[in-house]
Amino acid sequence: MRLFIRDGLVMTIDSDRRVISDGAVVVEGNRIVAVGKASDLEAEYSSHRVMDASGMIVMPGFVNAHGHFFATIMRGPKDDGRRLSRRTYDGRQAHGKYYWNAAEWHLDREDCYASTMLTAVEMIKSGMTCADDHMYLNFDKHAIDGVAQGVVDSGIRVMLGRSCWDMPGLTPDELIEDFDTAVAETERVISEWHGKGNGRVQVQGDAAQLSQSSDRIIVAMKELADRHGLSYTTSVCERLGARYYDLRRGDPSLARFGGRSIEYLQHLGVLGPTTKIVHCLHDITEREIDILAETQTSVAHCPVANAKGRARVVPVPRMLEKGVTVGLGTDSTLGNDMFLQMKACAFLHKVNDGDIRVMPAEKAIELATIDSAKSMQLDAELGSLETGKKADIILLSMDAPGFTPNLLPVKDFVYTAANGSMVDTVIIDGQIVMEGRVIKTFDETAVLRAGEDAARRVMRAAGHLERDPSYLTPPPWKYV
């Protein structure tokens, strides 16, 4: 495709952070070939298809630094902390509580395909063009293939991880993998899917959170990723050895780490420029932030999911001060919408730090675009509108209530008017996947219907559709 997008407010997020009035972006194939004033480019690119962007913001597509495509069809049952089951572990500690019962959700390839396509609708409609996805419900080894196929078919972009864990406790018995299986299946996914969809599918090495993965599997996934030249990720949600199901708990050899999870991961040798740590919800210390900065390890920050789970606010402003790359993620089933993440990120950190100057609107936008891309080692290709980068571009209408007057549209973008309904056009890899809010790469209505059917099929198999849904809501709310 040869496309001349002209006369928009071009929010480049390039190294100079240019915002160009009456700007233009030129696309040839799947690459951006020029960015500048429309009047300067119109003569050279007059033969291209013209897309009028007057009254619109033109910017790079949002990049989600952490999410779970499979979970989109599972909304509702685990919300507001209604515990569906109690799990007993006969090892060092006993009975832990779930917010949800992962053992019930035996998703197959068809379920995950439907959920991924549903996720794609939400991503496209809200201007998200790329996401980092973690598939950890591997009851069916081909469930992850449904995720990957959905990405190929929908036109979105993904960094896909087959998350694995091998320690008992919180993990359902059926999900605990032996070492050889975890490595072999990760190798299979790399072989079958890495680079598919014209490169829109990228695979990464992925170990589940520290408290559920042994040292051996954490190190092996990093070594596997390094061997293939891929990114690597793992999650840190608790202090080292703090949870009842962590088999490291009570190990006297860990005393020197004092619960400092990042120091422990450094001890294992898995930190570095190609590593991203998700969450960091463990009262991270200044020393650990220094380690992240020194090793150039990135962080995925999920403010909405963390707030919903009543986690403490991660000291992101302090990380940024010390040079740590931080990307924004959605996590959980709270919606694939980066507008919500940007607003929550800006507001939460102002409250947490007691300083209105913390996390300005411009930085929140950077976290949702170029910084998220950098956290995934994709910033050479994505996250800004620059010559030579992939044509992942979104157009947002400023003709909306709350966006008038357009005196400081960058501020309004985060604090007031901006939301997914403003997204008019989405281009991914040079292909127009939505125009005039109409998705062009697949039948949106059919996808929504299939997602509803899949959700009900999964809920029925788990035995929940036969129960009064009031058991999931606080009194006096009742379904009649």
Kindly state whether residues 239 and 303 are assigned to the same domain: yes
Looking at the structure, tell me whether residues 214 and 349 fall in a common domain. Answer: yes
Give the residue with greater pLDDT, 173 vs 252. Answer: 252
What share of the chain in percent tops pLDDT 90?
70
**In 3D, which of 419, 417, 455, 415 has the Cα closest to residue 437?**
419
Closest CA to 14 of 366, 412, 414: 366
Shared domain for 135 and 196, answered yes or no, is: yes
CATH number for position 22: 2.30.40.10
Structure-token pair, residue 73: 């069809």
Examine the domain organization and report whether 316 and 189 are in the same domain. yes
The two structure tokens encoding residue 132? 């980092």
Q: How far apart are alpha carbons 204 and 186 in whole angstroms?
A: 9
Most confident of the following: 56-65, 105-114, 245-254, 306-315? 56-65
Q: What secondary structure does DSSP assign to 257-278, as a single string?
A: GTT-HHHHHHHHT--STTEEEE
Mean pLDDT, the chain, rounded, equals 90
Q: Give the model confidence (pLDDT) of 275-312 as tens digits.
A: 999 999 888 999 999 999 999 999 999 999 998 877 88
Look up the domain containing 46 and give its range.
2-60+384-439
pTM: 0.94
Distance CA 196, CA 336 (A): 23
Q: Which two tokens stand for residue 36?
A: 């500048």
Q: Pinpoint the alpha helices (H) of 87-237.
A: 109-125, 143-154, 179-193, 215-228
pLDDT tens across 420-467, in order?
Answer: 889 999 999 999 999 999 999 999 999 999 999 999 898 888 777 766
Q: DSSP 3-state assignment of 37?
A: strand
Same domain, 225 and 260: yes
Domain end among 355, 375, 395: 375
The encoded tokens of residue 330 equal 């959605």
Instruction: State whether 287 and 259 are in the same domain.
Output: yes
Alpha-carbon 83 to chain mean position: 25
Q: Is residue 356 part of a domain?
A: yes
pLDDT tens profile 186-197: 999 999 999 999
Q: Could you say which of 375, 403, 423 is where a domain stops? A: 375
Q: Which residues contact 243 (CB under 8 A, 6 or more apart)?
A: 169, 170, 211, 249
Examine the domain organization and report whether 203 and 236 are in the same domain: yes
How far apart are the C-alpha atoms of 401 and 418, rounded to whole Å?
A: 10
Sorted by sequence, the CB contacts under 8 Å of residue 475 that are 6+ apart come out as none
CA quadruple 443, 447, 448, 453: dihedral sign:
positive
Is residue 19 packed enough to be buried (19+ CB in 10 Å), middle (13-18) or exposed (0-12)?
Answer: middle
Number of domains the chain is built from: 2
- Give how far Cα 472 sits from Cα of 81, 86, 469, Å: 9, 15, 6
- Whole-angstrom distance, CA of residue 102 vs CA of residue 144: 16
Give the CATH number of the domain where residue 369 resides.
3.20.20.140
In this predicted model, which residue has the larger pLDDT, 250 or 141?
141
The per-residue pLDDT for 396 is 95
Going by C-alpha positions, the residue among 388, 381, 277 that lies closest to residue 324 is: 277
Taking CA atoms, 233 is separated from 68, 339, 369, 480, in Å, by 14, 24, 19, 45
Q: Across residues 336-355, what is the average pLDDT?
A: 94
The pLDDT of residue 364: 97
SS3 state at 230: coil
Same domain membership, residue 407 and residue 261: no
- Please state the φ and ψ torsions of residue 51, each to the nearest 5 degrees: -115, 115
Note whether 377 and 51 are within 8 A (CB).
no
Tell me, yes or no, whether 452 lies in a domain. Answer: no
The pair of structure tokens assigned to 416 is 């007031």
How far is Cα 287 from Cα 278, in angstroms, rounded to an integer? 18
Q: Assess whether 82 and 211 both reside in one domain.
A: yes
Distance, in Å, from the CA atom of 445 to the CA atom of 138, rounded to the nearest integer, reads 28
Pick the closest to residue 186 from 198, 194, 176 (CA basis).
Answer: 194
Indicate whether 200 and 109 sit together in one domain: yes
Residues 175, 144 within the same domain: yes
pLDDT tens digits for 212-244?
899 999 999 999 999 999 999 999 998 898 877
Distance, in Å, from the CA atom of 9 to the CA atom of 22, rounded to the nearest integer, reads 6
- Tell the residue number behind the tokens 């450094």, with chain if given: 266
Confidence at residue 372, expressed as pLDDT on a 0 to 100 scale: 98
